[in-house]
C-alpha cells in the first residue's frame, strides 16, 4: 500500500501508468466466483453483480458447501446483493473466522486496515501540499505490509514507455490541458 503523486502532463508516471496491465486481467465476476470457491458459477453471477440482484438461498448453500461451513452461518446473506455477500463473507473476513483459516488451498486474507493507513498517508501528503512544503521527490511511497518496514519507502516509478498509457494519448493530454487551462 502507499500513496502516489501525479501531474499527468509532465514527465512523471501518471496514475494509469502504475496499473497498466501487462496481460489478460480477470473479469470481476470471474474473480468473485473464484473467491467464493464456485468458479464454475461465474456466468451465473455476472448479471446479479451488475444489477445488484439479491442472491437466492441455493446460491448461498453452494458457497457454504464449498467452504465446508454450516449454511446457518451464511443464511443472513440470502436475499442480499452479491456484492454485500462477497464483501462481508470474503473481504470482511467472515470465512476466515468460520474456517479458522485452516481450510486447504488459497485463502483470501482481509487487510482492511491497510486502506485506513493509506488514507492517513494521503492526508499527510495533502497537509504538506496545503502548507506549501516541497512534494516528495519520488512518485510513490510504498509500504509492504507482508515484510518488515523497509529503510527506504520511496518507489520511483517511470512513465510508461510502451505508448499504451492514456498519458501518451494526444486526445487525453489535450483534454487535460483544456480542463486545467494549461495551454
Ligand atoms: Zn501514464
Is the pLDDT at 4 greater than 80, yes or no?
A: yes
Residue 106 counted as domain residue: no
Residue 19 Cα, ligand 1 centroid: separation in angstroms? 9
Q: Is residue 82 a part of any domain in this protein?
A: yes
Helix (H, G, I), strand (E, B), or coil: what is residue 54? strand
In the reported structure, the alpha carbon of residue 159 is separated from the centroid of ligand 1 by a whole-number distance in angstroms of 6
pLDDT, residue 120, reads: 94
Is there a single domain that holds both residue 58 and residue 93? yes
Between 134 and 110, the higher pLDDT residue: 134
16, 34: one domain? no
Question: Phi and psi of 85, rounded to 5°?
Answer: -60, -50
Residue 104 is assigned to a structural domain of this protein: no
Residues around ion ligand 1, judged by CB within 5 A, are: 14, 16-17, 160, 165, 167
CA of 24 to the centre of ligand 1 (A): 19
Same domain, 63 and 10: no
**How far is the CA of 22 from the CAs of 19, 67, 144, 160, in angstroms?**
9, 32, 21, 11
CA 39 to centroid of ligand 1, rounded, Å = 33
Mean pLDDT over 34-63 rounds to 88
- Per-residue model confidence (pLDDT) at position 108: 62
CA dihedral 25, 85, 40, 29 (to 10 degrees): -30
Between the CA of 131 and the centroid of ligand 1 the distance, in Å, is 28
Q: Summarize the confidence of residues 72-86 as an average pLDDT.
A: 88
Residues 60 and 77 in one domain: yes
- Provide the domain count of the chain: 2
Final residue of a structural domain among 56, 74, 99: 99
Within a domain: residue 105? no
Sign of CA dihedral 117, 121, 124, 129: negative
Domain assignment of residue 15, given as a range: 2-20+112-179
Measured in Å, residue 142 CA sits from the centre of ligand 1 at 19
The residue out of 68, 99, 130 marking a domain boundary is 99
pTM: 0.59
In terms of Cα–Cα distance, which of 19, 20, 18, 14 is closest to 172? 14
How many whole angstroms from 8 Cα to the centroid of ligand 1? 7
Same domain? For 11 and 46 the reply is no
Residue 107 lies in a domain: no
Whether residue 132 is predicted with pLDDT greater than 90 in this model: the reply is yes
Kind of pairing between the strands at 140-142 and 154-155: antiparallel
Among the three residues 99, 132, 155, which one is the final residue of a domain in this structure? 99
> Residue 13 C-alpha to ligand 1 middle, in angstroms?
5
Distance from Cα 167 to the centre of ligand 1, integer Å: 4
pLDDT digits (tens, 9 = 90+) for 84-120: 888 887 776 677 666 765 554 555 666 778 889 999 9
Cα of 144 from ligand 1 centre, angstroms: 23
127/93 same-domain check: no
Amino acid at each position: 500500500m502507499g500513496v502516489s503523486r501525479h501531474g499527468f502532463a509532465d514527465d512523471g508516471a501518471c496514475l494509469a501508468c502504475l496499473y497498466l496491465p501487462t496481460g489478460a486481467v480477470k473479469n470481476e465476476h470471474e474473480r468473485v466466483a473464484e473467491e467464493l470457491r464456485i468458479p464454475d458459477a461465474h456466468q451465473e453471477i455476472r448479471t446479479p453483480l451488475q444489477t445488484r440482484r439479491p442472491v437466492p438461498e441455493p446460491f448461498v448453500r453452494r458457497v457454504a458447501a464449498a467452504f465446508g461451513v454450516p449454511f446457518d452461518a451464511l443464511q443472513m446473506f440470502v436475499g442480499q446483493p452479491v456484492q454485500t455477500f462477497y464483501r462481508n463473507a470474503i473481504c470482511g473476513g467472515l470465512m476466515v473466522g468460520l474456517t479458522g483459516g485452516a481450510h486447504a488451498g488459497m485463502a483470501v486474507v482481509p487487510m482492511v486496515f491497510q486502506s485506513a493507513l493509506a488514507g492517513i498517508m494521503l492526508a499527510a501528503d495533502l497537509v504538506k501540499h496545503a502548507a506549501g512544503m516541497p512534494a516528495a521527490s519520488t512518485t510513490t511511497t510504498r509500504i509492504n505490509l507482508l515484510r518488515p518496514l523497509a529503510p527506504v519507502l520511496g518507489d520511483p516509478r517511470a512513465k510508461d514507455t510502451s505508448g499504451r498509457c492514456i498519458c501518451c494519448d494526444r486526445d487525453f493530454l489535450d483534454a487535460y490541458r483544456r480542463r486545467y487551462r494549461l495551454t
